[in-house]
Amino acid sequence: MAQQQTITLIGGGLVGALLAQQLAGRGFAVEVFEKRPDPRIAGFVGGRSINLALAERGLQALREAGLAQDVLQRAVMMRGRMVHTRDGRSGLQRYGVDDSEVIWSVSRGALNMLLLDAAEAAGVRFHFGQSLVNADFDARRIRLADERGVERDLDAPVIIGADGAGSALRAAMNAHTPLGERVDALGHAYKELEIPSAGVLAADLVGRSGGHDQFALEPHALHIWPRGGYMCIALPNTEGSFTVTLFLPAQGAHPSFATLPDTQAAHAFFEEDFPDLLPLIPDFAADYEGHPVGTLSTLYLQRWHLDGRALLVGDAAHAIVPFHGQGMNCGFEDTVVLASLLAASPNDTADAFAEFQRIRQPNADAIAAMALENYVEMRDSVADPHYLAKRELGALLAERAPQHFMARYRMVTFTHLPYAYAFERGRAQDQLLEQLLRDSTQATSVDLDAAVAALRATLPPLPDLR
């Protein structure tokens, strides 16, 4: 690059910090304006989930940034879903074939701080407590406000918005040129609660947990309490606690957040629906009262960029519901694609931005759809005999004909196959499983040789994964 080009990034969250590091590593001068104070000094101010699941796509981006090992050292491995039924039984449904196919629970705050350190080490300049207020794309200037509300204007010829689902840059772009924005509210919301480490819980509860000293539940799993129209999940934290998330309709008939307005009603609901989970949450009343109800939506945009002047990435471009654990992973994949496109044509951002949208939008749409479908799967189907039979038959086919069958969850979570491919292939495979099983709840009722023959006749081999 003849002259170092400056890129102005709005938002130093997970995607913004990683993108900044990658762009600086490719020779760009990167200035990041982040609304919150520096979390390494002021402490991390949450907002979204406390911890989150990192999968292969996110890990691959971290590998390319040279950060994967550092992140994994601060993560807890999760081998599968531990499903807790209403009668108190539990069983592990593995995600992959073995421990090479696992996901990782990471702390959002710790990960964000690690990424900020890495970006700074690569030469990125962060400006904390600086909120984007507006942008004048014709004058190529942005307006920022500091924590006291004092505003100033700055030149910003190329702006990238990684400022999350409520993106201020998106609003400014939309006011300049309509982006074709649509926000579909899920109608369900969430609240976080905490299971402390085992040492904090009474000895009799720990005795029941299965012998892990530090954790009150099996640590190497993503726990689910599916209850049909709603559910709780829990992800482990390195120091032995779990973050529990209750997902429930926001309004409407019981149970919904509207019918559980106080801790008394919520406690009674947990006694009835999550009797094995409730005793693990000693501060239930304080958590329920003190933690906000978060809303969940899917964001669709027709345009992600204004020619070469401004672009949206991560949640700012394609926020999705969290049920596939892929929002951050997808955003991390964005950073790899965008950094290499910009590095290839540093002086033609319009071309790079258009190509970025062309590549990423169909994939963002596909993971948005799969994340919505996965909510039904997690809260309902994981306890359904027909679903379990399909899953078992799928596993048998994958074993017999690995070139022709791979569960959609595995394609999304453990490969780099485009999301759009996983979505289409998953649909075709599902149709075949339905045909083979019909109404049966027994995978063993299917003639496997005939099933493999039908699979090979119907679907082409999977792409080479190496």
Residues that bind ligand FAD (CB under 6 A): 10-16, 33-36, 48-49, 52-53, 131-132, 162-164, 168, 190, 245, 294, 314-316, 322, 325-329, 331
Compute φ and ψ for 236, nearest 5 degrees.
-75, 150
Cβ-contact 147, 83 below 8 angstroms: no
Smallest CA-to-CA distance from 266 within 255, 277, 276 is with 255
Cβ distance to ligand FAD smaller for residue 201 or 312: 312
Cβ-contact 90, 383 below 8 angstroms: no
Smallest CA-to-CA distance from 245 within 52, 430, 384, 388 is with 52
Locate tokens 């022709």: which residue?
Answer: 404
Measured CA to CA in angstroms, residue 112 lies from 17, 106, 453 at distances of 7, 10, 48
Cβ distance to ligand FAD smaller for residue 192 or 273: 192
CA distance 413 to 238: 22
Measured CA to CA in angstroms, residue 463 lies from 35, 144, 410, 417 at distances of 43, 47, 14, 8
Tokens linked to 156: 């910003």
**Residue sitting closest to ligand FAD (CB):** 13
DSSP 198: G
Cβ-contact 301, 277 below 8 angstroms: no
Tokens linked to 381: 């189907």
Contacts of 121 (CB under 8 A, 6+ apart): none
Compute φ and ψ for 212, nearest 5 degrees.
-80, 125
Residue length, the chain?
A: 466
Beta strand residue intervals within 13-64, DSSP E? 29-34, 51-54
CB atoms within 10 A of CB 160: 31
Cβ-contact 260, 116 below 8 angstroms: no
Cβ-contact 24, 174 below 8 angstroms: no
